[in-house]
Amino acid sequence: MKPVIFGLSGPVLTPDERAFFAEARPAGYILFKRNVVDRAQLRALSDSLRDLEGRSDVAILVDQEGGRVARLGPPEWPAFPAGPAFDALYEKAPISAIEAARANATALGLMLSEVGITVDCLPLLDVARAETTEAITSRAYGCEPKRVAAMGRATLEGLAAGGVVGVVKHMPGHGRAIVDTHYHLPTVTASEAELEDDLAPFRALAGAPMGMTSHIIFEAWDKERPATLSPIVIEDVIRRRIGFDGLLMTDDIDMKALSGTPGEKAAGAIAAGCDLVLDCWARMPEMIEIAGRLGEIAPRSRERLDAAMACVPPAAGDFAALIAKRDALLAVAAA
């Protein structure tokens, strides 16, 4: 097994993809709108990945946060709210906001598990600020660490109840970035003391099964390398200070915040201490390069992957009732 998660080019596996994946044996797959048509198609696609791997616990990921980040959407699936909706409710009724976040995430989990998706890249534990890039503020749970942690915990619990593994992101925090890592490399100049606020939600949820790195330079820890490529940030900050021992994957390795070829970036992330590389775009030459640069998944990384995929119970819950509960609670914020 290679320590990489690959994307797919369309709504069905192509013959070239099937042959390549069978040889490369990636640790998992990630789906996007280009892979999604309807329930029957999506279930058939996820089943084809399980058949290819010969096991039922394949990590099949999606970014289904709600709001602007949603790969499954209307008319086939309902729209879901993003983090700021729960933040607004928390201002008036904190306990209700936590319950709404949990109900929302359980409904998300049920929706995803129905079509065979096993991992959702949620929750964001980034602590937003006035200067934070809109790429994060439009999705975050707010600007207060305890609030972010509380709703993040409820979301993780809700996803698990719905039969899906959650991923805390973007470690060790994206809230101080003022530019979007899809296009630029942010540099954070905050001191170690100031960065304690950013670490706090991740520390509170250090037992999460999966986490995702951020492509950001934190000068307080490593002036040269972004977190994804920094053994200092990964080992000293994420593993030791935060105490996270779950499966750590990169954010999309193709983002412009990182420089180098896909293979160079992937190899650098694994060398720095990431368990898995996330490569989203299904470009065959790039996937071949990445697979060629990576060896077998490390034994400890495989243990973390297996533990994460085994930690979620079977899905249970009433989707319609959960949506109704969430909406009734969120209505308080609009009153």
- The pLDDT value given to residue 312: 85
Residue 279 contacts residue 254 (beta carbons within 8 Å): yes
Total domains in the fold of the chain = 1
Phi and psi (nearest 5°) for 249?
A: -110, 160
**Has 184 been annotated as catalytic?**
no
DSSP-assigned letters across all residues of 190-252 = --HHHHHHHHHHHHHTTT-SEEEE---EETTT-SSS-GGG-HIIIIIIIIIIS---SEEEEEE
Residue 238 has a pLDDT of: 98
> What was the pLDDT predicted at 136?
95
> So what's the pLDDT on residue 85?
97
Catalytic one of 198, 251, 252, 279? 251
Q: Are 84 and 325 in contact (CB under 8 A)?
A: no
Which pLDDT tens digits describe the chain residue by residue (335 residues)?
A: 999 999 999 999 999 999 999 999 999 999 999 999 999 999 999 999 999 999 889 999 999 999 999 999 999 999 999 999 999 999 999 999 999 999 999 999 999 999 999 999 999 999 999 999 999 999 999 999 999 999 999 999 999 999 999 999 999 999 999 998 998 999 999 999 999 999 999 999 999 999 999 999 999 999 999 999 999 999 999 999 999 999 999 999 999 999 999 999 999 999 999 999 999 999 999 999 999 999 999 999 999 999 999 988 899 999 999 999 999 999 998 87
pLDDT at 105: 98
Boundaries of domain holding 139 = 2-334
- CATH number of residue 213's parent domain: 3.20.20.300
CB 178 within 8 A of CB 126: no
Which amino acid is present at 229?
A: L
Does pTM top 0.75 for this prediction? Answer: yes
**What's the token pair of residue 15?**
């013959």
Residue of 38, 57, 63, 182 with catalytic role: 182
SS3 119: strand
Residue 120 annotated to the active site: no
